[in-house]
Each structure stands twice: as C-alpha cells, then as structure tokens.
Structure 1
Amino acid sequence: MRSVLKRTSALVLRRGLTTYQSTWWKNDSLFRVHPSISRALAENQPVVALESTIITHGMPYPHNLRTAKEVEAIVRAEGATPATVGIIKGKVHVGLSSEELDHLAQCTSSLKVSRRDLPHVISKGLSGGTTVSATMIAAHRAGIPVFVTGGIGGVHRDGENSLDISADLTELGKTPIAVISAGVKSILDIGRTLEFLETHGVCVATYGKSNNFPAFFSPQSGFTSSCQVGNPAEAAKLIASALSLGLHSGVLLAVPIPEEHAASGQQIEDAIQVAVAEASANGITGRDVTPFILQKVNDLTEGKSLQANIALIRNNARVGSQIACALSKQMNETELKGQTHSRNHSSCSESDVVVIGGINVDFIAKGKTKTIEFGQTNPGSVCQSFGGVGRNIADCLSRLDHRPLLISAIGADSNGDAVLNYCKHMNTSAVARLEEQSTATYCAVITESGELSLGLGDMDIHQQITEQYVSQFEKQLSSAKLVCLDGNIPVSTIDYVCGIAKKHNINVWYEPTDSEKACKPFLSDAWKSLSYSSPNLVELCTMNKTLGFPTPAVLPNSVEEVLSVAVTLSRPLLEHLHCVVVTLGAHGLLVCGEHDAGSVTLQPRKERKRRQLCAVHYPALTVTAEETMNVSGAGDSLAGALMAGILQQRDTDSCVRMGLLAARLSLASPHPISPTLTLDCVDPDKAPSQNRPKLTYRCID
C-alpha cells in the first residue's frame, strides 16, 4: 500500500546557461561574475563588456585607471551596466570592483592574456589584462552580447609571410558577440584584415553616415565595410539578427573617431609610420610591437595620440552603451510581444486565479522489477506526459471548473509545440515562447511499486519567468482571488508577486516544489505576504531554518511524533500565514490554521487579528502498488483540488476530501493530472464515501 500524498523529489542536473559551451567556466573557483552583472543579466538589463589590456598595457598609470573609471561611468550614464573583464590571481572576473581596478592598474606583473594564454594564467594563479579575444570569451560565457574596446588586432604587415595574425580575428569568427571598436590601427594591414574577417564570416559594419572603414586615429582607411548602420536602433537590429540566426560568429561595428579629434589624425599617422620603421629596425616582433609603437607615437606627438586614444575609447563606450540599451529594449519587446503564444488579454482578464510556475515535458520510466539496477538495461516501460508544478496545478484547476491564467515559459521547439497542443483546455495565453531556449524536461525512473529511483531535470528556462515578464500581468494579479507560486520561479519574481499581494490584499499560495526551493520567500520579508503553503516535513524544516528557528536533526517515524514535529514547525509560519498544509506521506495530511467550529478554516480571513490556532490530521487514502502508474503529480493534484475547494467556498473537510481524491486519480494515471479528473468525481457529495478518513484534532495555542 502507498499514500496518495507521497511526494517525489528530483535530482536536477542543470544544463547551465545556453551561452555556456563548457562546464569549467561554471566553476566559481575559476570564473566569477560580479553580483551587479548577474543581477542585470537576470533582469534582462543592458550590460557592456570592457577589456582590461587598456588598463594593464594600453596606458601608463594613473591615466589607465582614470580612463577605465571614466569609461565605466560613461556606460552607467547611458543606462547600461559596465562589466570590465580581467584576471586576478588565476580567477576570471566579469565585472571588477573599484579595488580590483586599482589592483590591475598598478600591478607591474600583469600579463597580456589572449585566448591561448588563459590556461597558463589560470593554472598558475597569475593576473592579467584580457585582450579582445579573451574578453569576448568571458563575456559570451556570461551571456553579455555587446563588448566595447578601442581597436581590434588584425593581420600584421607582411602577415602573408610571417602569419602574424591577431587571435581577435579568429575569435570574431567563432564567438557570437558584437564588438564595438574604432576599426583597426594603421600599423596593421587593414585590407588583408578585412579579407580575413570576410573569410571567417564576420559581419563588418561602419557606424555612421557612410560605410568608410575607420583606421583608429583616422575616420577613413581607404577601405569600406560590407554594410552601414546609422543609429543605435539599426545597430541593435543587425546584432539581434546575427544572434537569432545562430551563426556562431561575431559582428564588428567600426565607429569612426569623433571629428573634433580627427584633425590631429594625420600627425599621428605620420608618427605611426616612423614608429613602425623603428620597430622593424630594432627587431621588435610579436606581441611587443603594438605597445612599442603606441609608446613611441605618444612620445613623437607629445601626448596627442594618448589624448586621441582616450577620446576615442570614451566615444566607443558611449556609442556601444547606446547600442546595448537599444538591443536590450528590442529583445525585451520581442519577448513580450512576439514570444508569447497567442496572447489574448481579454481571456487573461477572465481568470479569478493566477498560477505562476514551470512547465515540463515529463518522461516516466517504470521498471518491471522491485529494484532498478544501475549500469545496465532494466526491463520496463517509458511514457511521455506533460508536467511542471505550475502547469499541473493550473491543469487541475482547469478540470475542476476554473480558468486559471498560467504564467510560464517554454522554448520555441517541438516540445513546446507538444505542450501547447496538449494544454488546449487551459488558458496558456500568458505562456512565453522563447527562442534559443529549451522547454524544460524531466525524466523520472521509478520502480515497479512506484518509488522514485532517479530523477533528472533540465529546468533552466524557469529562470526566464522573470519579474519583468510577470509584471505585465499586474492587473490580473491584483484582481485575482488567489495567486499560486511554484517554487521553481526566481526569487525576485516571488518577491515581486508578494509585494503586489501586500498592496492589494491578495491571497498567495506557495507550493515549494522541493526542499532546496522551499526557502525562497523566506529569504526576505516576502513570506509575510503569503496566505497558504503546502510543504512536506523536509520543506517545512527548510522554511524554519531559513527563518532562524531550530529544527530536529533527525525526523521521527511514528505518527504521533511526526504530527508533534509538524505542529511545532508550522507554528512560527502561522504568525503571518493564514494556513499551512503539511503533507506527511504515508501519515497523511496536517492542516494548521485558525480554529473554527472544531476544525481549521481554509477560507481567507478578512482581517489580521489574534487567532486561536489548531491543527487537524487527515489520514491518507491508499492505493495499491498495482494501481500506481505515476507518482509525479499526486502532490500537485492535491494542492490544485484544495485551491478549487477554497475558491468554491467549501468547508475544510470537503476541500481536503477533494484533494485526496484528485491525488488518488493522479497516481492511477500515466499523466501527472488525470485526464479523467472532473468536479463530479472529486465532489465529496457525489464521490463514493469509502475510505473517508478519521480526523484527529489538536489545539496549537
């Protein structure tokens, strides 16, 4: 025999961000993203990557530090977040603090780090400034699409013989990121550089009124770009097109030097020719050429080249930030307008309940033996179904004569198509379809008796159910009778919805989904705006631990001890929550809340006041192992039916009865929510009266 309230857990193996190409970059000991960058990226705000060789090798101290901070200030002033990339003691940093900028600016042992140098510098724990290629790698892996620099490297003069070609060019050919620069320095072979970029499929565009390709200190090099963009919006469209096509190559946007600084360009160009000749005469080659020439040119022009260099970098930062902001705006508008499935706001407004949570495509593998032998093929059967906690609860409510608005996200893939086709009976108008994202999938391996042996989940897309996306449904949220939050969604989204609930006095049900996610609302005061929650005993422990309350080291087994612990752990939450429903597996269900006529009232309270609290224990209904087909949706069926009963203003016993019956149907179905679920088959007045549980009442206060 097995309880219909048995909650399953999943061992979730995360894929990582779609921009990640290898797992070692996710190791915090090697790759660190500054919190301000992580926050901006999570909220789909514009971020601009900046290189650090200009700090370590481009200018002398203190010009380098002052320029770096000025460039970051320009990026912020344009509405974007600067992310200077550098390597400090073997750690790749995306986004540097003020102290870290100071360190790089004054570190005399810093190395110039290109793609090839990354393994050496990291393995030795060294520090260095990242070149264009290394910065592109780090920015791309962090999910930053726009990178601003001074000028890129290229094919060196006589490169056809020396094969001295900058790694910047090959990186542009294989890393999908937009590089905003002032073109290529005239010390290089600009013609061959452009030919090399064309060979590697790099889109090169001039920013401005013409397609003349600039030569760093000069707005014209004598060569042209393949295309031209006149403003940030046009540049953003070009970048968005390149990223959407999945070409895996970059875009080079060449920004001419401002006219007021171009006048001294000829003097600087003359000095460059002298410096190039001197470098050749002195046998200076490789990576030493550029710093030698820059220093020589600065001496010959009495600092004018340095001033022009600084002005050029400032201008690139300004233009690049404007482009990043335009790109962010376009991508957000696309997500809000073009990536939702047939959004109909009139249908959204019909919903009296809103569910915010995940959608999964589930694969349930059930063995034909009592145990699963790992490392070999086991006899069994595999079936596909459609799940996700948020989807399941919305499905359950939909089958019980409600029309919940489901706010979620799926990929623009075949699994997403299948989900929408299966969920035609539901209101999916607020489900976003996201390009370059995979619909969440979950695979459960269960034994013959229905016990979970292993669960694997790919749930990254749930993090795209952001506060920004959900906020467009604020009208529906503020007028709903009940809002249900699935613990898979981001903390910031939970906090946002709790803020709306507090403002409009909305009832919120939090379904924690697993022990790790149970803590999310309790990381701040957001939990005080919750009305209901349905944790199991382990999740209830997590909630208490997060709030700083003591919890038992080992959970008991006997019914009396389990109930005692559940009551004790529920008590702190009831200071603010209206009701806590604790699922106890084989031991049944414990409903804790305000005492009302010998029971607990589930109906929302009209005012917050001192209450007499109590708990009622409902033993579990049972299902034989032979009847059990799928354990993944029983808890969600229970929660959904409880909510339906509350919305229908039923008494507590009737609500719980509905939940238990819905969960039993779920266990006997290959689908998380049984397609045969109807209001009639769980209606306490119509359903068979067998197995009606005996209740145990206890006072909490």
Structure 2
Amino acid sequence: MIKSIDILCIGSVLWDVVGRSPSVMRLGSDVPGRIERLPGGVAMNIAMTLARFGMTPALLTAIGRDREGDELMIEAQNMGLVTDYVYRSEDLPTDSYMAVEGANGLIAAIADAHSLEQAGAKIITAMGDGRLGDEATPYNGLIALDGNLTVDLLRKISSSPLFASADLRVAPASPGKADRLLALLGHPVATLYVNLEEANLLTRRDCTSSEQAALALIERGAKRVLVTDGGKSASDATADRVITKQPPSVLVTRVTGAGDTFMAAHIAAERRGETRDDALETALNAAATYVSGEHPR
C-alpha cells in the first residue's frame, strides 16, 4: 500500500561521490582527505531533508535497473521516501555526481544526469495517468522541481494543466543550468530558490546582494523568489514585500547540498504554518547547521 504523500520531488536522484579535504586547494592540488559515496541529486537531497523534518516525499525520477540503481532504491526506501512512481529504465544507467571540496569551498564538480535527461517526460507519467492526477483533477499539493530536467520538459511543465493547481517550488541544479529556469520564470504558481550567481544569470544583471537580485527577478516576472548569498544574506521576495535576513556565522566544512537543505527546510517550515519571516530564519539555521557538518547527510 502506498503511503500518504506530502510532496512530490521531481528531478535528479543519483549517487554523489564527494572528496573533501581540510586543505586549501588550487588547480592541480593533490592532498589527503576523505571520499564518500552518498545518495544525492537535487530532488533526492530535498526529499531526504524533508523526511528528516517529518514529511513523506515521493520521488519522480529516472533510475537504472543496474546494481547502483537497486542500491539507490533501497537507500531511498530505508529513509521513508516513496519510490512507487520512479521510472526504472532497462537501458539507461543510474546517474552520478562527482565533486571535490577543499577548505576554500567547492573546487570542481561534474554532474552526469544524462539518464534523467534522456528519460524526459517518462518521469512524470504518474502526474497524468490517474495515479497522482490527470487533466480533469490535477495534483494540487506541493511539488519540488529541480533544474536538471531538460528545457523542453520544463517548458512542457510550465504550460501543462497537470501542474496548474500545484504549489510548485523550483531550484536550479547548478549555475551552469540556471538559464533552464527561464521557462518557469513567469509561472503563476512557482516559487524559485536560487543563489546570487544564478539570479544574476537569470536576470542578466550584476546584482551585489540577495535583496537586489530578488527584486530583479520579480521585475522579470517571477511570482515569488528566495535568493541566498552564502554567509551574507538571504531574501524572500514577492511583488508586495521583500524580507532579508542574515544567516548564523558558522565554520563551513561542506557545501554540496547546502542550497537543497535550505529549500527543503523552508518548504517544511511553511507547511508547518510558519510565517514568511520565521520560515526564512528556520531555513537559514538549517543550512548553517548543515554546512557546519553538525547534521549528517
């Protein structure tokens, strides 16, 4: 029997291979550190954090029918995530992500989400075949959507009646894929979660603060945006109000997944009924705890 679902997490679910060193790293650095493999991907990171906050997320993604995929499905189920709607491909391998982090932050990363991209609209089949809704009775709950999807699929989602009644929360996969969100910039029910660099890429501006960037996105047609700027500030903007808060000061020990943690914590806080001001503060505190290494992934 399928568990009651609180939110759909649509996008990348893969294996993260992350190498971390306490040393400052430069191009060509060869230093001691730790390498670990963990469940990851934007949709997965958000879902895992939501589960820690007591919510029941369902994954809509593509996972291969290989050993890595079987292991990933088991990991997801063990964390309480609903995997009944995952598209399992016979011929596409399970996706992966590789990153190197030093004391000076993220050094480099490569995201191999080609299977997700090739699967395309197959990952959202359940949205229209009656399992999660159809055009007559579309899904009307929370959806977390990540920018690893192709531009064509994001455009399809932006105009599809299957998503018109949902509370759509959207995050780019990385600055390199931020421009994919242009397809959803003017969506009437979408809330965008971006960092300052991604906001500047979307607006073609050179904003220097989260508040300035958030206002620029609203001017471009966004209904609501949340813009983060590392340890400096974060802003929640709509056409009638902008809220800006400072995150706690912590020692940063990791960065991969911090933005996803912020987004998930914010969604969970609002679902609990917290005000916009309180939800932003809750999300900043959760992200600070995460990057400090105090909370395991």
Q: 1:410 aligns with which of 63, 66, 91?
A: 63
Partner residue, 1:508: 168
2:2 partner SS: helix
2:187 is aligned to 528
Cα 1:617–1:413 shift into 2, 3 Å: same
- Residue 206 (structure 2) pairs with residue 544 (structure 1): no
Q: How far 1:661 moved relative to its partner?
A: 2.7
CA distance in 2, matches of 1:383, 1:422: 15
RMSD: 2.5
Q: What do residues 141-168 of structure 1 show as CA deviations (whole Å, max 9, x unaligned)?
A: xxxxxxxxxxxxxxxxxxxxxxxxxxxx
Query: C-alpha offsets along residues 259-316 of structure 1, whole Å, 9 cap, x if unaligned?
Result: xxxxxxxxxxxxxxxxxxxxxxxxxxxxxxxxxxxxxxxxxxxxxxxxxxxxxxxxxx
Query: Which structure exhibits the higher relative contact order, with contacts defined as CA atoms closer than 8 Å and separated by 6 or more residues?
Result: 2
- CA distance 1:519–1:647, shift in 2 (3 Å): same
Deviation at 1:429, TM superposition (A): 1.4
The CA distance in 2 between the partners of 1:665 and 1:481, in whole Å, is: 28
Q: CA deviation at 1:538?
A: 2.0
Flag structure 1 segments of 5+ consecutive residues without an equivalent: 1-345, 546-550, 557-561, 595-612, 676-701
1: CA distance, partners of 2:163 / 2:56? 24
Match of 1:352 in 2: 6
1:656 partner amino acid: L
Higher share of residues assigned helix: 1
Cα distance per residue 1:560-589 (max 9 Å; x no partner)? xx256324413314x451x21001112121
Map residues 26-65 of structure 1 onto 2, 5 A cutoff.
none
Specify the alignment match of 1:391 in structure 2.
44
Asked if the contact 2:210–2:228 (Cα under 8 Å) also holds between the matched residues in 1, the reply is no
- Distance in 1 of aligned mates of 2:185 and 2:229: 25
Inter-partner Cα distance in structure 2 for 1:495 and 1:473? 16
- In structure 2, C-alpha distance between the alignment counterparts of 1:526 and 1:502, rounded to whole Å: 18
| 1:420 aligns to 2:73 (yes or no) | yes
**TM-superposed deviation, 1:397:** 1.3
Structure 1 counterpart of 2:107, from 446, 453, 468: 453
TM-score (norm 1): 0.39
Q: Judge conservation of contact 2:11–2:60 (CA < 8 Å) in 1.
A: yes
Structure 1 residue 502, shift from structure 2 partner:
7.5
> Which residue of structure 2 aligns with residue 674 of structure 1?
296
| Change over 3 Å in CA distance of 1:413–1:499 after alignment to 2 | same
**Residues 1:502 and 1:521: Cα distance change in structure 2 (over 3 Å):** farther
Specify the SS of the correspondent of 1:580.
strand
C-alpha displacement of 1:451: 0.7
Matches within 5 A, 1:421-436: 421-424=74-77, 425-436=80-91
In the alignment, structure 1 residue 363 sits paired with structure 2 residue 17? yes
Q: Which amino acid aligns with 1:473?
A: M
What residue number does 1:572 align with? Answer: 219
The percent identity for this pair of structures is 22
Q: Distance in 2 between the 1:541 and 1:648 partners?
A: 31
Offset at 1:527? Answer: 3.4
CA contact (8 A) 1:353 1:405 kept: yes
Match of 1:91 in 2: none
- Matches of 1:417 and 1:619, distance apart in 2: 41
Specify the SS of the correspondent of 2:85. Answer: strand
Which position in structure 1 is the counterpart of 2:242? 615
The change in CA–CA distance for 1:382 and 1:567 in structure 2 (over 3 A counts) is closer
The C-alpha deviation readout for 1:403-439, integer Å capped at 9, x for no partner, is 1221011122222122122212211111222123221
Give the paired residue count.
Answer: 289
**How far 1:441 moved relative to its partner?**
1.3
Note the C-alpha offset of 1:373: 5.5
Deviation readout 1:3-37 (Å, 9 max, x if unpaired): xxxxxxxxxxxxxxxxxxxxxxxxxxxxxxxxxxx
Taking structure 1 as reference, are residues 402 and 500 closer, same or farther at Cα in structure 2, changes over 3 Å only?
A: farther
Structure 2: segments with no counterpart, 5+ residues: none
Which one of the candidate residues 225, 247, 268 is aligned to 1:644?
268
| Deviation of 1:398 (Å) | 1.7
C-alpha change, 1:469 and 1:633, in structure 2 (3 Å) is: closer
Whether contact under 8 Å (1:521, 1:527) holds in the other structure is no
Equivalent in 248, 258, 272 of residue 634 of structure 1: 258
Kept in 1, the 8 Å contact 2:86–2:123? The answer is no
